[in-house]
């Protein structure tokens, strides 16, 4: 491949440093290249969400540098960070992804709207993505009228609509049944392949892990393994 | 986009939105209502002062006002009276002979101001005739008749037909006494004045005062209240040697009351607005806190603070502007009704209202002159109250908000 998208160096994050410190991320180095489809796994409390938040610029590390696409985001002001996220990063959260008062289509084009994309551009892109996620008939539904799987698919469409450098997804399938989960993974994998969009997602789910091309394991805030092969022994021990 | 979201957000919790809208409406209504009630009361008070007590303008010999000594008559009074009556804008003018003295009955005595009046003239400048509640008007045949106030009648145990004695000094300084028979009892909406003022025929009083056909006071009633100052100046120019006062100087407590009540009404406005502000802060804060996760998610996706600020601002603006016409409508209906039918405040105690010189039936006026001010205060309050919840929304940290 080639282009480096994420380059994290010696990253540390401590919660409550003054009372009972929690070393959520401990000396993490991470290097992700364009086009990757990588899973971040680890037991609950191992720091997956924290690491994704740091990479996504939602939180600041206590130590270390995080370089995204050549920009050290730890040096950006809060306002610059918001702008940076808008232009470079797609997000899919575990739950409550969509804005309830907007329709599926409006939610999907939300980022494009914030970026000031023209109506024709938006319509074309959203139409294409809704075909991909097989929800052309749900364009005008409100989130409350959609199933959990459909909502997550809209969230993926939104994350991809503006063609970001990469997409961060924190347990995107955690609230889905296995059929919806596998369907969402199909869509993510296909878009990764077709549009060359880099995905970094955290998960607990064995079936989701199996779909990843690279699996990074986090335990107690440290990366304990980083491999294209899934280490089934560790996983069985962690998931139970 | 942001304003579409704001608009739809309003309908998410209809009850809450209606409550804010109604708070604004009620705040506006309360503000306008208070202003209109106070305006109505003040108009009523001023009306009473002009119609029952002072007229618009009074003319005296400058010496008279010091001690109410009857020897300070208005020189050439009858000529002046005719002249004044012909001035444009003057509705009518009447003359009063005045002295102060002692009213005695077998059971007691009281200090009074004796007003010598020409009945037909007096009826045109004050509401004396309408205020009579017992007995009859002056009888042409009888000379020594007197009309007294109800409060005084009660105190001295007098009623029509009974006799009393008035004692006072005449224009030469001699003490004179004379017996009078009560012809009628009147009651006005200003009890202290009722207790003090008694009315006799001018001819009778002038005989006793030995002042011929001279008198001490001219009362002027104008066509238009608003002309008062202008006409006062005009009269002063015509008659520079006389003391010429308007109701504002003759009843300074009324003028003072009008000014004070104006200030009070603004203090009450502020209190109402504080209540409104807390209502809006509370409700909008709930609306923001309830959506912590949603707003956090929007910020995480790259929505900048300005847009979040405008989202909350638009929601407040929509609710405020929805409440404003409702408030105006309620005020209009309320005031129109009581403008026509009068607001009966006798529940507050007729006695109490009259002691301060108010009528008990207040006719409300829509305070057009103060409307802009009230609107500005209400809308301003709503928009200022929005700042607090908006700042709260701006301070949301996306990572923390999303964890909740
Ligand atoms: N705001 C916070 N304040 C204090 N401690 C926190 C905070 N957020 C997370 N932690 C702690 O940091 C550690 C890592 O949490 P994190 O949420 O990143 O784990 P995770 O791997 O995402 O877990 P899960 O699989 O349950 O989502 C945990 O021990 C957690 O309790
Ligand atoms: Mg997590």
Instruction: Compare CB distances from B302 to A53, A86, A96 and report the shortest one's residue.
Output: A86
- CA B390 and chain centroid, separation: 42
Residue of chain A with shortest Cα separation from B292: A96
ipTM of the complex: 0.90
pLDDT at res. A130: 94
CA distance B18 to chain A (A): 18
Cross-chain Cβ contact A99/B294 below 8 Å: yes
**Chain mean pLDDT for chain A:** 90
Angle value at C-alpha B254, between B125 and B184, nearest 5 degrees? 40
Q: Are strands A198-203 and A166-170 parallel, antiparallel or unpaired?
A: parallel
Whole-number Å distance, alpha carbon B3 to ligand 2 midpoint, is 33
Residue nearest atom 30 in ligand 1 by C-alpha distance: A45
- Measured between CB atoms, does A58 come within 8 Å of chain B? yes
| Chain B residues with beta carbon closer than 8 angstroms to that of A53 | 399
> For residue B361, what are the β-bridge partners?
B344
| The total number of residues written for chain B in this structure | 404
Whole-angstrom distance, CA of residue B180 vs CA of residue B142: 10
Whole-angstrom distance, CA of residue B52 vs CA of residue B66: 23
**Sign of torsion, CA B281 B286 B287 B289?**
positive
Structure token digits, residue A77: 């002001």
Residue A240 in this model has a pLDDT that exceeds 50: no
- Measured between CB atoms, does A59 come within 8 Å of chain B? yes
Residue of chain B with shortest Cα separation from A89: B301
Given the CA of residue A47, which atom of ligand 1 is nearest to it? 18
Residue A232 in this model has a pLDDT that exceeds 70: no
| The total number of residues written for chain A in this structure | 240
Contacts of B42 (CB under 8 A, 6+ apart): B257, B258, B261, B262
**A54-68, A88-102, B125-139, B316-330: which has the highest mean pLDDT?**
A54-68
Structure token digits, residue B340: 């026509």
Helix B292-301 vs helix B305-341: angle between axes, to the nearest 10 degrees? Answer: 140
Q: Which residue, among B188, B173, B179, has the nearest Cα to B103 in the 3D structure?
A: B179
Contact residues of ligand 1, CB 6 A cut-off: A 15-16, 22, 24, 42, 44-50
Angle value at C-alpha A157, between A153 and A159, nearest 5 degrees? 115
Q: How far is CA B29 from CA A171, B118, B263, in A?
A: 53, 48, 18
CB B385 within 8 A of CB B280: yes
Region A206-219 average pLDDT: 91
- pLDDT band per the 50, 70, 90 thresholds, residue A103: very high
- Measured between CB atoms, does A174 come within 8 Å of chain B? no
> For residue B107, what are the β-bridge partners?
none
pLDDT at res. B347: 67
Cross-chain Cβ contact B304/A100 below 8 Å: no
Judge residue A137's burial from the number of C-beta atoms within 10 Å of its C-beta, 0-12 exposed, 13-18 middle, 19 or more buried: exposed
> For residue A12, what are the β-bridge partners?
A63
Tens digits of pLDDT across chain B (404 residues): 888 999 999 888 898 889 888 888 988 898 888 888 888 888 888 888 888 888 999 999 999 988 888 899 998 999 999 999 999 999 999 999 999 999 999 989 999 999 999 988 998 888 888 889 999 988 878 889 999 999 999 999 999 999 999 999 998 889 999 999 999 999 988 888 889 999 999 999 999 999 888 999 999 999 988 889 999 999 999 999 999 999 999 988 888 888 888 888 888 888 888 888 888 888 888 888 888 899 999 999 999 999 999 999 998 888 888 888 999 999 999 999 988 888 887 666 666 667 666 766 778 888 888 888 888 888 888 888 888 888 988 888 888 888 87
**Which of A13, A22, A45, A53 should we substitute to test contact with B (largest number of B Cβ atoms within 10 Å)?**
A53
Given the CA of residue A53, which atom of ligand 1 is nearest to it? 18
Structure token digits, residue B271: 């209190």
Structure token digits, residue B90: 């003057």
Cross-chain Cβ contact A113/B1 below 8 Å: yes
Contacts of A15 (CB under 8 A, 6+ apart): A21, A22, A24
CB atoms within 10 A of CB A2: 6
pLDDT at res. B36: 87
Judge residue B114's burial from the number of C-beta atoms within 10 Å of its C-beta, 0-12 exposed, 13-18 middle, 19 or more buried: buried
Whole-angstrom distance, CA of residue A199 vs CA of residue B311: 31
- CA B315 and chain centroid, separation: 40
At B103, is the secondary structure helix, strand, or coil?
A: strand
Whole-angstrom distance, CA of residue A188 vs CA of residue A4: 20
Contacts of B130 (CB under 8 A, 6+ apart): none
CB crowding B288-309: b at 16 or more within 10 Å, else e: beebbbbbbbbbbbbbebebbb
**Which of A92, A99, A170 should we substitute to test contact with B (largest number of B Cβ atoms within 10 Å)?**
A99
Ligand 1 test: best mutation among A48, A53, A216, most atoms within 8 Å of CB?
Answer: A48
Cross-chain Cβ contact A79/B305 below 8 Å: yes
Whole-angstrom distance, CA of residue A8 vs CA of residue B348: 78
pLDDT at res. B81: 92
pLDDT at res. B91: 92
Instruction: Compare CB distances from A85 to B302, B307, B403 and report the shortest one's residue.
Output: B302
Q: How far is CA A199 from CA A35, A89, A133, B254, in A?
A: 7, 10, 17, 81
Domain A36-53+77-238: give its CATH code. Answer: 3.40.50.300
Ligand 1 test: best mutation among A11, A14, A15, A202, most atoms within 8 Å of CB?
Answer: A15
Helix B14-48 vs helix B252-290: angle between axes, to the nearest 10 degrees? Answer: 180
At A40, is the secondary structure helix, strand, or coil?
A: strand
CB atoms within 10 A of CB B311: 22
| Chain A residues with beta carbon closer than 8 angstroms to that of B402 | 58, 93
Whole-number Å distance, alpha carbon B399 to ligand 2 midpoint, is 11
pLDDT at res. B84: 93
The residue extents of the domains of chain A are 36-53+77-238
Q: Which of residues 15-54 of A touch B (CB under 8 A)?
A: 49, 53
The residue extents of the domains of chain B are 2-49+254-403, 62-241
- CA B280 and chain centroid, separation: 33
pLDDT at res. B399: 87
CB crowding A105-128: b at 16 or more within 10 Å, else e: bbbbbbbbbbeebeeeebeebbee
Among all chains, which residue has been given the structure tokens 């002063």? Answer: B236
Answering whether pTM is above 0.80, one says no
Whole-angstrom distance, CA of residue B150 vs CA of residue B115: 16
Whole-angstrom distance, CA of residue B305 vs CA of residue A77: 13
């Amino acid at each position: 491949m080639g282009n480096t998208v994420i380059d994290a160096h010696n990253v540390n994050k401590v919660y409550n440093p003054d009372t009972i410190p929690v070393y959520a991320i401990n000396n993490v180095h991470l290097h992700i290249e364009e086009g990757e489809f990588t899973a971040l796994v680890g037991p609950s409390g191992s720091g997956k969400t924290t690491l994704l938040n740091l990479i996504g610029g939602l939180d600041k590390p206590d130590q270390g540098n995080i370089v995204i696409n050549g920009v050290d985001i730890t040096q950006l002001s809060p306002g610059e960070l918001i702008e940076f996220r808008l232009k470079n990063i797609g997000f899919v959260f575990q739950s409550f992804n969509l804005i309830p008062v907007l329709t599926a289509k409006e939610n999907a084009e939300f980022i494009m709207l914030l970026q000031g994309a023209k109506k024709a551009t938006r319509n074309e892109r959203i139409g294409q993505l809704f075909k991909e996620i097989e929800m052309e008939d749900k364009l005008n539904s409100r989130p409350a009228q959609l199933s959990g799987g459909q909502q997550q698919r809209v969230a993926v469409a939104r994350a991809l609509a503006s063609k970001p450098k990469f997409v961060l997804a924190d347990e995107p399938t955690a609230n889905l049944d296995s059929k919806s989960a596998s369907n969402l993974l199909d869509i993510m994998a296909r878009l990764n392949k077709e549009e060359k969009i880099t995905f970094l997602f955290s998960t607990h789910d064995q079936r989701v892990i199996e779909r990843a091309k690279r699996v990074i394991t986090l335990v107690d805030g440290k990366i304990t393994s980083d491999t294209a092969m899934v280490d089934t022994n560790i996983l069985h021990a962690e998931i139970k | 986009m942001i304003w579409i979201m704001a608009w739809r957000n309003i309908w998410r919790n209809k009850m809450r939105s209606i409550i804010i809208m109604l708070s604004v409406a009620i705040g506006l209504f309360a503000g306008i209502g208070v202003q209109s009630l106070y305006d109505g009361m003040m108009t009523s008070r001023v009306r009473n002062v002009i119609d029952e007590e002072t007229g618009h303008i009074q003319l005296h010999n400058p010496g008279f006002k010091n001690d109410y000594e009857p020897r300070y008559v208005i020189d050439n009074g009858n000529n002046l009276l005719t002249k004044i009556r012909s001035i444009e804008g003057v509705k009518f003018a009447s003359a009063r002979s005045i002295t102060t003295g002692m009213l005695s009955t077998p059971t007691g005595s009281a200090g009074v101001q004796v007003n010598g009046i020409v009945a037909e003239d007096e009826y045109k400048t004050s509401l004396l005739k309408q205020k009579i509640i017992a007995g009859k008007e002056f009888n042409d045949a009888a000379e020594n008749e007197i009309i007294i106030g109800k409060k005084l009648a009660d105190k001295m145990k007098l009623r029509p037909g009974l006799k009393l004695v008035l004692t006072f000094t005449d224009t030469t300084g001699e003490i004179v006494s004379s017996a009078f028979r009560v012809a009628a009892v009147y009651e006005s909406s200003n009890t202290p004045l009722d207790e003090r003022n008694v009315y006799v025929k001018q001819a009778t009083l002038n005989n006793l005062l030995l002042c011929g056909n001279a008198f001490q006071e001219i009362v002027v009633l104008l066509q238009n209240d608003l002309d008062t100052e202008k006409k006062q100046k005009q009269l002063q120019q015509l008659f520079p040697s006389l003391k010429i006062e308007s109701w504002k100087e003759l009843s300074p407590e009324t003028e003072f009351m009008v000014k004070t009540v104006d200030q009070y009404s603004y203090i009450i406005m502020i209190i109402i607005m504080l209540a409104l502000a807390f209502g809006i802060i509370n409700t909008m804060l709930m609306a923001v806190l309830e959506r912590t996760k949603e707003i956090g998610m929007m910020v995480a996706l790259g929505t900048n603070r300005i847009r979040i600020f405008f989202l909350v601002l638009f929601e407040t603006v929509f609710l405020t502007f929805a409440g404003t016409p409702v408030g105006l409508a309620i005020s209009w209906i309320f005031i129109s009704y009581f403008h026509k039918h009068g607001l009966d405040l006798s529940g507050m105690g007729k006695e109490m209202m009259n002691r301060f010189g108010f009528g008990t039936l207040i006719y409300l006026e829509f305070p057009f002159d103060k409307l802009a001010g009230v609107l500005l205060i209400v809308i301003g309050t709503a928009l200022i109250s929005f700042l607090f919840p908006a700042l709260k929304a701006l301070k949301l940290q996306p990572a923390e908000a999303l964890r909740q």
